[in-house]
């Protein structure tokens, strides 16, 4: 068997490696011979330690070469104090992992780490906003600021008072709102001042907005550079067309806009959105709106809300198809673009299919057909 594997070219072995997890790779190919070892250790590794056993974690750490690791995910969820354990294997982590480009930290609250300068993507993921609120991620972000092109964090206030600039940062994702002490944070946190302190030319921005202060956010600072924008408003906030317009209208480079919001009737006016789009350079527009205070008595009434999206502007020019669904159980009406926000937990066609769209029947079937 070894002689057969030995006859494979490096390219073929790399193709085989693509189908194996890091644990399977080392278990199957390490220590077969000198050549195979070299090939294994030259194969770029993307290590995800978030869902892994302690046995697998130890085995991988014992066999990997730091220079082959391209991306790394560490998490305390399955293996507590994982950073501490990882640093025990690699005490010179900052200097050994010279090709590491991306690192994701999930529910990490106890141990600190200094990253290699090669890391361009940093993501801090936290699922429970009330857990270890006082853990300070700022030193980690600050020491990496001048190298990062991509940053994803769970709270806007992490960037507050960081007093450093991010000169090469282009992609920023803030997928959570404020810390649990919301009242204090709202009084002392200002979106615009935080963005100004970044010193960045952001091209891609994702914001989760969970308080009324964020409804008046001013993004004009990025008018010369922002091309992709996603605004996700907390469902209990009532958002108006006018507030979104004021936020976006001066973003002259914006090409793609995605919105998730709850609001009133003005959000479902396709003609109003058409006039707005025509005043911008937006090419792709996706949205999911939860329309409040709209009491639909019968299923047929749903189609009324789609009439303004049936025009040639939406269907032929923008190739933008809109669907609507009335949730009778919760008395909620959803207006959304497909396929981006299509509901996935349905069977099509069905006698209970309460979804109507502006797409033709063949396109609608393609989007909703169960597989």
Place of tokens 């958002």: 239
pLDDT digits (tens, 9 = 90+) for 92-147: 999 999 999 999 999 887 778 899 999 999 999 887 655 655 567 888 999 999 99
3-state secondary structure of 48: strand
Residue 4, pLDDT score? 75
Mean per-residue pLDDT, 158-186 = 76
d(Cα 198, Cα 193) in Å, to the nearest integer?
A: 9
Burial of 352 (0-12, 13-18, 19+ CB in 10 A): exposed
Residue 186, pLDDT score? 45
- The helix (H) or strand (E) run that includes residue 333 is strand 332-338
Distance between start and end Cα atoms, the chain: 40
Whether the predicted pLDDT of 176 surpasses 80: no
Q: Which of 194, 105, 186, 90 is nearest to 144 (CA)?
A: 105
Return the bridge partners of 258, or none: 230, 286
The dihedrals phi and psi of 336, each to the nearest 5 degrees, come to -155, 155
CB atoms within 10 A of CB 361: 9
d(Cα 195, Cα 323) in Å, to the nearest integer?
A: 35
Q: pTM value?
A: 0.89
d(Cα 149, Cα 80) in Å, to the nearest integer?
A: 29
d(Cα 151, Cα 129) in Å, to the nearest integer?
A: 19
More confident residue, 300 or 217: 217
CB 36 within 8 A of CB 11: no
d(Cα 45, Cα 64) in Å, to the nearest integer?
A: 9
pLDDT digits (tens, 9 = 90+) for 277-294: 999 999 999 999 998 755
8-state DSSP, 316: I
d(Cα 173, Cα 228) in Å, to the nearest integer?
A: 11
d(Cα 109, Cα 104) in Å, to the nearest integer?
A: 13
Whether the predicted pLDDT of 187 surpasses 50: no
- The helix (H) or strand (E) run that includes residue 248 is helix 241-248
Pairing assessment for the beta strands 321-327 and 355-357 based on DSSP bridges: antiparallel
Which range in 72-81, 152-161, 181-190, 353-362 is most confidently predicted, on average pLDDT? 72-81
């Amino acid at each position: 068997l070894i002689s057969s594997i030995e006859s494979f070219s490096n390219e073929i072995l790399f193709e085989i490696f693509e189908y194996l997890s890091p644990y399977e790779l080392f278990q199957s190919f390490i220590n077969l011979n000198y050549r195979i070892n070299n090939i294994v250790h030259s194969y770029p590794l993307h290590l995800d330690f978030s869902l892994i056993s302690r046995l697998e974690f130890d085995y991988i750490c014992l066999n990997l070469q730091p220079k082959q690791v391209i991306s790394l995910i560490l998490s305390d969820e399955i293996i507590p104090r994982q950073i501490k354990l990882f640093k025990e294997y690699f005490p010179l982590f900052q200097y050994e992992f010279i090709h590491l480009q991306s690192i994701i930290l999930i529910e990490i609250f106890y141990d600190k780490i200094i990253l290699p300068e090669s890391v361009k993507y940093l993501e801090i993921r936290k699922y429970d906003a009330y857990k270890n609120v006082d853990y300070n991620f700022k030193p980690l972000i600050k020491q990496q600021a001048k190298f990062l092109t991509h940053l994803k964090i769970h709270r806007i206030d992490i960037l507050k008072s960081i007093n450093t600039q991010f000169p090469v940062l282009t992609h920023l994702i803030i997928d959570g709102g404020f810390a649990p002490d919301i009242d204090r944070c709202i009084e002392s946190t200002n979106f615009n001042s935080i963005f100004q302190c970044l010193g960045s030319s952001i091209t891609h921005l994702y914001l989760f907005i969970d308080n009324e202060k964020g409804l008046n956010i001013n993004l004009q600072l990025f008018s010369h550079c922002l091309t992709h924008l996603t605004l996700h408003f907390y469902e209990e906030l009532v958002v108006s067309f006018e507030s979104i317009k004021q936020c976006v209208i001066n973003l002259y480079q914006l090409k793609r806009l995605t919105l998730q919001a709850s609001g009133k009737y003005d959000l479902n006016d396709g003609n109003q959105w058409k006039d707005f789009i025509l005043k911008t350079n937006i090419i792709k527009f996706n949205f999911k709106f939860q329309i409040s205070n709209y009491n639909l008595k019968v299923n047929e009434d749903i189609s009324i809300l789609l009439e303004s999206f049936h025009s040639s502007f939406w269907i032929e020019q923008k190739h933008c198809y809109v669907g609507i669904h009335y949730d009778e159980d919760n008395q909620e009406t959803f207006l959304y673009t497909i396929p981006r926000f299509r509901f996935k937990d349905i069977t099509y066609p069905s006698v209970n299919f309460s979804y109507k769209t502006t797409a033709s029947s063949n396109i609608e079937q393609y989007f909703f057909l169960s597989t």
